[in-house]
Structure 1
Amino acid sequence: MTRPVTDVVLPAWWHPLAQRAAAVEGREITRFLPPPGSRARASAVLILLGEGGEGPDVLLMQRAATLRHHAGQPSFPGGVTEPEDADAVATALREANEEVGLDPASVTVVTTLPELWINVTNYRVTPVLAWWHTAHPILAIDPAEVAMAVRVPLRDLADPANRVRARHPTGYIGPAFDMDGLLVWGFTAGVLATVLRLGGWERPWEPGRIVELE
């Protein structure tokens, strides 16, 4: 199924990602998809790509270590859909504003990825892909929820030296990125790996090193 793509003028590096993301299927991203008839809670995350001094980058944040779920884990801005949210896009933009002070007017939503599933917390998640056309300073609004926010260059994510795999205590092994002490794993790493592939940034790497998660 093809999802709508905005008709806004995008930088040249955006075009392959925008077109491929609009047509990608959930099973091409992960084997964790919402089960038929699932009562999983609706949520959304914002995959915000901007252009910094080192080329295209993505906005990530690290969740506070005291949270009940996903404590200390790097992630995209996002959260659970509230009754006042019109759709997944509204959820993603509202959460990003609340978590890192993102101005929704600085963002153009390009398309969405298929709805995915986080089985551990039973959330069905819609990733919202957006262009940060007017980037501005960001910060952790509530330290009780967000420890820090950072823009990560896509070239660092694509660097084979930073590609690893992470093994969860349950034994599950999935993709991960290890960059100067910032270890991105789980749902976020899987989606980022897909973004790199669809955008044409992925470089060959040898999936050898495994990082053990506590």
Structure 2
Amino acid sequence: MSAVRPAGASEPDWVGRLRTALHDDDRPWVDALRPARGARQSAVLALFGDPPGGRSGPEVLLVERAHTLRSHPGQIAFPGGGVDAGDVDLADTALREAYEECGVVRDGVEVLGCLPPAHVRVSGFDVTTVVGWWRDPHAVAPGDPGEVAAVLSVPVADLVDPANRATARHPLGYRGPAFTVADHLVWGLTAHLLDAVLDLAGWSRPWDAAREVGIPERYLRDRRASTRTRDDGGPDAH
């Protein structure tokens, strides 16, 4: 699904490091996430690229889910969704969803590899994170305002800044990694996956895991009633 790199295109050093790490059989994984269970498959796109216009990169593409959605309204996530019958593979799914949600043109994306799939109990999906290099970044916007409220390009430098790292505290007891950036809290499954990719790329910096932040009420509106009886507010609640 990845396009052929244009002749003369310059590949940043971090791209090779991340590509190699993603294909390393000994790469670390996230113990807090549940392994795949042979459930219905879905894919998300963790898309990194050096922005145009002289800004120092790289940056990662994230979406703010529409606040009117029944599931996870307003939360920050990677673009993605369930496999469609016409999808060739999981990379195809992730690229299709990124185009539908944000307008990302797949010809400008090179797929570097995937994280091992994680089972999300709440939705019943096995989620595969497809990691890509955005060779040809361009302006993006929500494809359907009913699904995506905003598209965010977040600098990796901001994500790994210890001042923006914390442990998220869920009302039901869950604690896990979080990022406080762009006036948002990135937590749950997305934060675990993002944390894993940052580690693989060698970008992570030491941070104070004892610093805790509560998850804002606006991110919990769809979960309060149901999770009290069937979930622990864990990483797949996001």
TM-score, shorter chain, exceeding 0.5: yes
3-state SS of the aligned residue for 2:86? coil
Q: Aligned pair in 2 of structure 1 residues 114, 96: CA closer, same or farther (>3 Å)? A: same
Q: In the alignment, is the contact (CA less than 8 A) between 2:3 and 2:108 conserved in 1?
A: no
Deviation at 1:210, TM superposition (A): 1.5
Where in structure 1 do 4 or more consecutive aligned residues deviate above 6 Å? none
Which residue number in structure 1 is paired with residue 49 of structure 2?
Answer: 50
The answer as to 2:187 corresponding to 1:188 is no
- Aligned residue runs from structure 1 range 153-164, under 5 A: 153-164=155-166
Match of 2:110 in 1: 108
Q: Residue in 1 aligned with 2:150? A: 148
Which string of whole-angstrom CA distances, capped at 9 and with x for unpartnered residues, describes residues 102-144 of structure 1? Answer: 1111111111111112222221011111110010000011111
Answer yes or no: is the 8 Å Cα contact 1:6–1:111 preserved in 2. Answer: no
Letter in 2 for 1:43: S
Tell me which amino acid in the other structure corresponds to 1:50: G
Is the aligned partner of 1:34 residue 2:35? yes
Q: Which residue of 1 aligns with 2:13?
A: 12
- How far apart in 2 are the matches of 1:18 and 1:64? 32
Aligned residues: 208
Give 1 or 2: higher strand fraction.
1
RMSD of Structure 2 on Structure 1 (CA) = 2.1
For structure 1, which runs of at least 5 residues remain unmatched after alignment? none
Distance 1:44 1:118, change over 3 A: same
Q: Does the CA-based 8 Å contact 1:168-1:212 persist in structure 2? A: yes
- Distance change in 2, residues 1:25/1:174 (3 Å): farther
Partner of 1:105, secondary structure, is: helix
Report the residue type matching 2:210 in the other structure.
Answer: G
Judging changes above 3 Å, is the alpha-carbon distance between structure 1 residues 206 and 127 closer, same or farther for their aligned structure 2 residues? same
**2:95 paired residue number:** 93
Deviation sequence 1:156-190 (CA, Å, 0-9, x none)? 00000000111222211110000141111111111
AA paired with 1:28? Answer: W
Over 3 Å counting, the alpha-carbon distance change for 1:25 and 1:190 in structure 2 is farther
Task: Spell out, residue by residue over 1:55-78, the C-alpha distance to the aligned partner (whole angstroms, 9 max, x if none).
Answer: 111000110111122211100010
Query: Which residue in 2 is equivalent to 1:166?
Result: 168
CA contact under 8 A between 1:24 and 1:113: conserved in structure 2?
Answer: no
Q: 1:7 to 1:98 in 2, by over 3 A?
A: closer
How far is 1:21 from its partner? 1.7
Q: Are 1:134 and 2:133 counterparts?
A: no
Matching residue of 2:61: 59
Quick one: structure 1 residues 180 and 78, their matched pair in 2 at CA, closer, same or farther if it must change by over 3 Å? closer
Deviation at 1:91, TM superposition (A): 0.5
User: Take 2:67 and 2:180, find their aligned partners in 1: how far apart are those partners?
Assistant: 18
- The SS at the match of 1:91 is helix
| Alpha-carbon separation, structure 1, partners of 2:70 and 2:210 | 31
1-side partners of 2:151 and 2:176: how far apart?
A: 23
2 CA distance for matches of 1:60 and 1:24? 27
Q: Which has the larger radius of gyration?
A: 2
Amino acid at match of 1:47: A
Aligned residue number for residue 23 of structure 1: 24
In the superposition, the TM-score normalised over structure 1's length comes to 0.90
The alignment-based identity, stated in percent, is 45
Tell me, yes or no, if structure 1 residue 75 matches structure 2 residue 77: yes
Q: Per the alignment, in what secondary structure is the counterpart of residue 28 of structure 1?
A: coil
